[in-house]
Amino acid sequence: MTLATDSLLLAGKDLQVELRTRAALVGTLTLGAGALVMVGLAAGPDLGRLRELAPALTAIAILFASLAMADRLDAIDRENEALEGLWLSLADRRAIYLGKALALTALQSVLGFSLWLLALVLLDVPVGPVLLWLPALVVLGASSAAAATALISALVGGADQRTVLLPVVMLPMLVPTLLAIVNGSRALIDQDPGAAVGWVLVLVAETALFVGLGLLAYEAVGAPE
């Protein structure tokens, strides 16, 4: 089997596990929604201010919920020595990385889209025709974050303080992604698609960079203990 087929199969496996239990998605959605309500409370109740801060607040909520989701998916693989089985059975182990990145992209897109819907209501974001491009931006942001998270969660997977280490190592790597999502969505809210194009390119470049790094480094970092 090729790398692409293996990756798609593994992504399908992760999605199937999630569809059966819905544990990661429901948990992280609740976490993200809770975070949105909390930051809304902390920064509100001035609606003008909330509207101004909406892209940043939503992006932060999505980011933290995505980290929790990556942690959960990684934990599932490490339970019952499932990762060892995968590691031994695959000819090209980079498929584990690509499969994880694909599954995370799908799940984080659902998460991001749902949280943006909530933000439209809670933070009073004005809806215009250009905002219809937001789902595309959400998917690109999710792919960029997923490509990095799949690598970093493998890197810190065997560490004692994994839950703390993942955000500590991950968040600085996601600075360009965060800036691109915040500024891109702000441009879409302001009905200025031209200003979003540059940020879309940043997301594409960040995705390509982390996929490249992941393919290069996964064999070194992903090996089970």
Cis peptide bond prior to 45, omega within 30° of 0: yes
* 79 vs 225 by CB, closer to other proteins: 225
* 8 vs 217 by CB, closer to other proteins: 217
* 25 vs 148 by CB, closer to other proteins: 148
- Closest distance to other proteins from the beta carbon of 86 (Å): 18
- Closest distance to other proteins from the beta carbon of 225 (Å): 7
- Closest distance to other proteins from the beta carbon of 12 (Å): 28
The count of chain residues that interact with other proteins, using the rule CB under 8 A, is: 20
List 37, 110, 213, 215, residue binding other proteins (CB under 8 A): 213
Which of 14-22, 23-31, 95-103, 217-225 is the region at the interface with other proteins (rule: CB under 8 A)?
217-225
C-alpha to C-alpha distance for 34 and 60, rounded to whole angstroms: 12
- Closest distance to other proteins from the beta carbon of 162 (Å): 8
Q: What is the pattern of x (binds other proteins, CB under 8 A) and - over residues 103-132?
A: ------------------------------
Task: Judge whether 154 and 222 are in contact, CB under 8 Å.
Answer: yes
Cis peptide bond prior to 172, omega within 30° of 0: no
Residue 136: name the closest of 126, 144, 125 by CA: 144
* 120 vs 165 by CB, closer to other proteins: 165
- Backbone φ and ψ of 174, nearest 5°: -95, 10
C-alpha to C-alpha distance for 89 and 91, rounded to whole angstroms: 7
**148-187 residues near other proteins, rule: CB under 8 A:** 155-156, 158-162, 164-165, 168-169, 171-173, 175
- Closest distance to other proteins from the beta carbon of 169 (Å): 4
Task: Judge whether 115 and 33 are in contact, CB under 8 Å.
Answer: yes
Task: Judge whether 100 and 12 are in contact, CB under 8 Å.
Answer: no
Task: Judge whether 137 and 189 are in contact, CB under 8 Å.
Answer: no
Residue 212: name the closest of 150, 136, 141 by CA: 150
- Closest distance to other proteins from the beta carbon of 43 (Å): 18
C-alpha to C-alpha distance for 73 and 150, rounded to whole angstroms: 10
Binding site for other proteins (CB under 8 A): 155-156, 158-162, 164-165, 168-169, 171-173, 175, 213, 217, 220-221, 225
